[in-house]
Amino acid sequence: MRKAHTLIGAFALVMFSSTQADSGEPYRLAEGIEPVFQQITLTLDPDQAEYSGSTSIELTVTRNVDRIEFYQSDLELNSIRLKSGDGVRILTAEPAAYNINRASDGQPIKAGEYVLEIDFGGNLATNALGMYQTPNQQEHGPGYRNIRVSNLVEDPYFKDSRDSYCVQAADLAAFLLDQKFAPSSYIKQKYAQNYFNRLQPVLCTVASSSNPDGIVHL
């Protein structure tokens, strides 16, 4: 009999960050690279233990560097390509501490605009970490069901956003809304002041009768 599964989609993919200053902390990424935009594509089958995907990250390299660093956990990196104009460089990633990966081809990376493309694969987890399957045995017996998740429940106490994907998602939504109303010069330069509009399909528009996005002004 074909099993059914529920996929819980709050999982860690290739995440990019940049440091504001050299603090000497080993879990910080190297300076000189600023992520501008990231797009993630997943290929999923809830009945299979494996999944695959790709990510495309627009980067601004502010000074010459010898490698690109990024965070990733428990993924198999199948291909890493660094594009600039018509040129494509194939990079190889070496793992370091704190889930940091260091990608390089042994040649300097000059200052400029780039696109980093990564193809990856992973395995669905069986615990509540990453992309995982959860059993539903109350109404339909043992096994799993491929149903859409409509609600996520978070632990009701204050915590640092680095410890919670739900808090990170809320922080990002709040930041995008703030930049919609009062965009910074950097956001204007990157034409990102309308990114909040991409959340339209999941906004609770009934929260406000006077705002089409459901924004409640206090």
Contact assessment for residue 131 and residue 6, using Cβ atoms and an 8 Å cutoff: no
pLDDT band at 22 (very low <50, low <70, confident <90, very high): very low
pLDDT at 25: 59
pLDDT at 217: 82
Instruction: Report pLDDT digits (tens) over 87-108.
Output: 999 999 999 888 889 999 999 9
Enumerate the CATH 2.60.40.1730 domain ranges in the chain, comma separated.
Answer: 6-134
SS (H, E, C) 77-146: EEEEEEEECCEEEECEEEECHHHEEEEECCCCECCEEEEEEEEEEEECECCCCCCEEECCCCCCCCCCCC
Q: What are the phi and psi torsion angles at 52 (to 5°)?
A: -140, 170
pLDDT band at 139 (very low <50, low <70, confident <90, very high): low
- What's the mean pLDDT when you consider all of the chain? 80
Least-confidence region, from 7-16, 69-78, 86-95, 195-204: 7-16
What CATH number is given for 6-134 in this structure? 2.60.40.1730
The CA distance from 67 to 58, in Å, is 15
Q: What are residue 81's DSSP bridge partners?
A: 90, 117
Please tell me the pTM assigned to this model: 0.58
